[in-house]
């Protein structure tokens, strides 16, 4: 018992001394911080007052010359003799001071040849600072004018100013000066004119008050801790605390089996804490197993395709680094999106499930891994060394079994066509990432489609990687152009074939980087569509075109895709922009006629608000290999732009000539004007006019050029 009391007494004294030291340190630190912050804050406020006074000097009521003659403003009543007397003094006298005219205070400011009188006006910031005292003082008479309503004894400021007069004459500014009951500032505005500021702050009383607060708090804490020690729970508390820390440590390692033993003789609060901890441990132990089950389900969903149950792309990216010799075969169902749209998504899901089962059953190598990627694509990984010939045999084996066996869908036997992109393990360099491999595989599928072959095997990974790298660089430049407004419009004139005069211009986008590099649209537009950046480019083209042609007497053609019209946000932006344009009839919306138009009725409906505004509609690239005459002319376009592939050989290809003549006749019957693209020489232009085409466009007239060069404007 004696030992415990001595420990408690020693601990209490040690604690009291330590807290006393902390108390002194905090008081000193607080005094330092308070003084520093007050110095900074008050100095900034005084600078604002000085700026207000200087600003008032810029608006004098009257200005006199050296002869006392009034130059500007209104004479408040000093007269020429008085005004002239200011200039009869020596040059080294005051350049400013105070003057009372008919009982009204003025500030006089003397320049080389002029004298300005400024009335004392209320200051904006000073009027709101009720705790500040501000006044102007003139030397050497110590006349003063109070700028605020703050009560200040006359002898008080005179005493302070006279004490600091020598410093003011040499340094021009004094302050902040900390006094018992406030802070003083002084600044020479003009020789002979000083502004004095005073902020009433009883710094000592503030410090004493905080000393008391901190001291009382620390003493109370020391007393409470001392009571705890005196209750002889120091040892039991320490033991229980160690057990508590042990429990927390086990919690961090997800070990919820530990329980804190309840010691006899500990205070009730500690006992309740221990019991609460044990109850929490029991709850966590029970929920851990339930949450672990949920976590495993979430993990499964993240790494597996919900429809087929196969591992997905996320799992492939995680597994890729573990493969030793991965040979990859990426399979794609041809025209699956159209098939899915025709038969319905439920039928499409059945096809995907059967394809997954069929690929799983066809695998003959022990280390074969099948993944279901996006849409209708399946990735097969054979992790063992294989020659090119083996890969060709395997690709043929899989494709024949997939394509030649019927699929049972809703009782119907259907056949599907597959293509594949193949990448051998020998082409994969060390350190290559899974995302880069997937991008390369998608490129191989695209090549197989373009070449109309069942599969395409990569010959050189460097070429694929280089193209991927170039695409990423280009996308980076596109994002940079959108973010920093590097997108610019070039314009190509469209000539009326009947008059030979330019009546329209087509807006064509370019990227112009600060380095001077000019990126043509063919390089980045397709990538921008794939990266979902195309709508930002469309916005930039529209804003530039409408700004450039707002006051010009020409029509301007702007290209749009069916996807642009389906984008609700972009459509709203276009309608707002076109509505604010002076004459929407000078806006021609060019829609490219292609297979991407799935539903002409939707396009027709989307165009109605624009046509109601008066915008004109043009079908671009008409006759470029895909032309649904009925659907196109159901849109009732104002212009048909005949594709350059037909126009450029008009003087040599009789078939092209006949086809263009048929298009012109059909357009004429339906009331649409025709535009010939790609007119590159005089001979072709003559053929165009011979066919009766209304307008012509091409390099024969002008290549696309910047707006500034076209119209000579900056």
Give me the helices (H) in 500-651, please.
521-530, 534-548, 562-566, 568-579, 600-613, 629-634, 644-647
Nearest of 338, 370, 341 to residue 355 by alpha carbon: 370
Question: pLDDT tens-digit profile of 287-323?
Answer: 666 666 666 777 788 888 888 899 998 899 889 888 9
| Cα–Cα distance, 398 to 449 (Å, whole number) | 18
Ranges 179-183, 522-526, 590-594, 707-711: which has the least confidence = 179-183
The most confident of the ranges 4-13, 107-116, 538-547 is 538-547
| Cα–Cα distance, 418 to 397 (Å, whole number) | 12
Contacts 24+ apart (CB under 8 A), 334-338: 334/416, 334/417, 334/418, 334/419, 334/449, 335/417, 336/375, 336/376, 336/416, 337/375, 337/376
pTM confidence score: 0.45
Per the structure block, which two tokens stand in for 328?
């990859």
Q: Check residue 714 and give its pLDDT.
A: 44
Structural element, H or E, at residue 434: helix 434-450
Mean pLDDT of all residues in 527-536: 81
Name which residue leads in pLDDT, 266 or 64. Answer: 64
Per the structure block, which two tokens stand in for 382?
């054979």
Mean pLDDT of all residues in 192-220: 70
φ/ψ of residue 210, rounded to 5: -70, -35
What confidence category does residue 91 fall into, taking pLDDT thresholds of 50, 70 and 90?
very low
Q: Say yes or no to pLDDT of 238 above 70.
A: no
Question: pLDDT tens-digit profile of 364-418?
Answer: 888 899 999 887 899 999 999 988 888 888 888 888 888 887 887 767 777 888 9
Q: Say yes or no to pLDDT of 495 above 90.
A: yes
Q: Say yes or no to pLDDT of 250 above 80.
A: no
Helix (H, G, I), strand (E, B) or coil at 187: strand
For the chain, the average pLDDT equals: 79
| Cα–Cα distance, 60 to 116 (Å, whole number) | 6
| Cα–Cα distance, 714 to 708 (Å, whole number) | 6
Structural element, H or E, at residue 597: none
Question: pLDDT tens-digit profile of 532-590?
Answer: 788 899 999 999 999 999 989 999 999 998 888 888 899 999 999 999 998 999 999 99
Question: pLDDT tens-digit profile of 660-704?
Answer: 998 899 888 888 999 999 999 999 999 999 999 999 999 999 999
DSSP, residue by residue, 333-393 = ETTHHHHHHHH-HHHHHHHHHHHHHHHHHH--SSSEEEEE-STTEEEEEEES---HHHHHH
Q: Check residue 2 and give its pLDDT.
A: 43
Q: Check residue 62 and give its pLDDT.
A: 84
φ/ψ of residue 192, rounded to 5: 100, -5
Q: Where are the beta strands (DSSP E) in 389-486?
A: 407-409, 412-414, 418-423, 455-457
Give me the helices (H) in 485-520, please.
none
């Amino acid at each position: 018992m004696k030992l415990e009391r001595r420990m408690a007494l020693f601990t209490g004294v040690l604690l009291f001394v330590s807290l006393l030291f902390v108390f002194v340190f905090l008081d000193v630190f607080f005094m330092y911080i308070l003084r520093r912050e007050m110095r900074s804050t008050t100095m900034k406020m005084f600078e604002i007052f000085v700026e207000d006074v200087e600003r008032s000097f810029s608006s004098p009521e009257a200005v006199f010359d050296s002869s006392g003659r009034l130059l500007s403003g209104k004479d408040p009543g000093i007269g020429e003799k008085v005004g002239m007397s200011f200039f009869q003094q020596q040059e080294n006298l005051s350049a400013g001071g105070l003057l009372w005219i008919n009982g009204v205070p003025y500030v006089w400011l003397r320049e080389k040849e002029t004298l300005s009188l400024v009335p004392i006006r209320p200051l904006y910031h000073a009027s709101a600072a009720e705790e500040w005292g501000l006044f102007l003082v003139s030397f050497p008479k110590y006349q003063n004018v109070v700028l605020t309503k703050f009560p200040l004894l006359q002898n008080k400021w005179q005493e302070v100013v006279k004490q600091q007069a020598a410093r003011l004459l040499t340094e021009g500014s004094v302050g902040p000066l900390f006094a018992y009951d406030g802070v003083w500032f002084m600044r020479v505005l003009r020789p002979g004119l000083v502004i004095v500021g005073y902020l009433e702050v009883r710094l000592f009383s503030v410090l004493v008050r905080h000393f008391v607060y901190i001291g009382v708090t620390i003493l109370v804490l020391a007393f409470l801790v001392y009571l705890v020690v005196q209750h002889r729970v120091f040892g039991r508390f320490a033991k229980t605390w160690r057990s508590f820390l042990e429990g927390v440590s086990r919690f961090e390692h997800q070990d919820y089996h530990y329980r804190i033993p309840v010691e006899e003789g500990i205070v009730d609060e500690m006992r309740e804490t221990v019991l609460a901890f044990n109850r929490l441990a029991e709850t966590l132990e029970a929920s851990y197993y339930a949450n672990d089950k949920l976590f495993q389900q979430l993990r499964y969903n993240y790494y597996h395709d919900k429809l087929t149950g196969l591992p997905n792309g996320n799992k492939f990216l995680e597994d890729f680094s573990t493969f030793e010799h991965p040979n990859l075969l990426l399979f794609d169902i041809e025209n699956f999106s159209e098939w899915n749209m025709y038969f319905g998504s439920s039928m499409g899901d059945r096809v995907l499930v059967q394809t997954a089962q069929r690929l799983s059953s066809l695998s003959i190598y022990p280390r074969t891994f099948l993944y279901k990627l996006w849409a209708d694509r399946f990735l097969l990984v054979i992790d063992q060394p294989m020659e090119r010939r083996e890969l060709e045999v395997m690709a043929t084996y899989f494709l024949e079994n997939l394509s030649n066996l019927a699929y049972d869908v809703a009782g119907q036997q259907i056949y599907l066509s597959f293509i594949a992109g193949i990448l051998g393990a020998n082409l994969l360099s060390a350190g290559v990432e899974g995302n880069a491999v997937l991008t390369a595989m998608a490129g191989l599928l695209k090549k197989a489609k373009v070449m109309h072959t069942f599969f395409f095997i990569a010959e050189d990974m460097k070429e694929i990687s280089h193209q991927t790298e170039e695409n990423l660089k280009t996308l980076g430049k596109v994002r940079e152009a959108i973010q920093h407004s590097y997108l610019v419009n070039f314009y190509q004139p469209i000539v009326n074939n009947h008059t030979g005069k330019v009546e329209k211009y087509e807006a064509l986008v370019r990227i112009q980087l600060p380095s001077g590099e000019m990126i043509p649209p063919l390089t980045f537009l397709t990538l921008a569509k794939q990266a979902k950046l195309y709508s930002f480019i469309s916005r930039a083209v529209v804003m530039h075109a409408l700004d450039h042609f707002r006051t010009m007497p020409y029509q301007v053609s702007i290209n749009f895709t069916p996807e642009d019209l389906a984008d609700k946000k972009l459509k709203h932006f276009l309608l707002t922009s076109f509505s604010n344009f002076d004459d929407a009839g000078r806006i021609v919306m060019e829609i490219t006629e292609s297979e991407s138009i799935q539903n002409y009725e939707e396009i027709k409906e989307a165009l109605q608000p624009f046509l109601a505004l008066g915008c004109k509609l043009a079908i671009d690239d008409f006759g470029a290999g895909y032309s649904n005459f009925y659907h196109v002319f159901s849109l009732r376009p104002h212009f048909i732009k005949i594709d350059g592939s037909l126009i450029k050989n008009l003087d040599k290809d009789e078939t092209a000539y006949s086809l263009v003549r048929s298009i012109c006749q059909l357009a004429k019957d339906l009331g649409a004007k025709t535009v010939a693209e790609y007119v590159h020489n005089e001979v072709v232009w003559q053929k165009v006019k011979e066919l009766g085409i209304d307008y012509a466009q091409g390099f024969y007239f002008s290549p696309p050029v910047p707006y500034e060069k076209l119209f000579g404007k900056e």
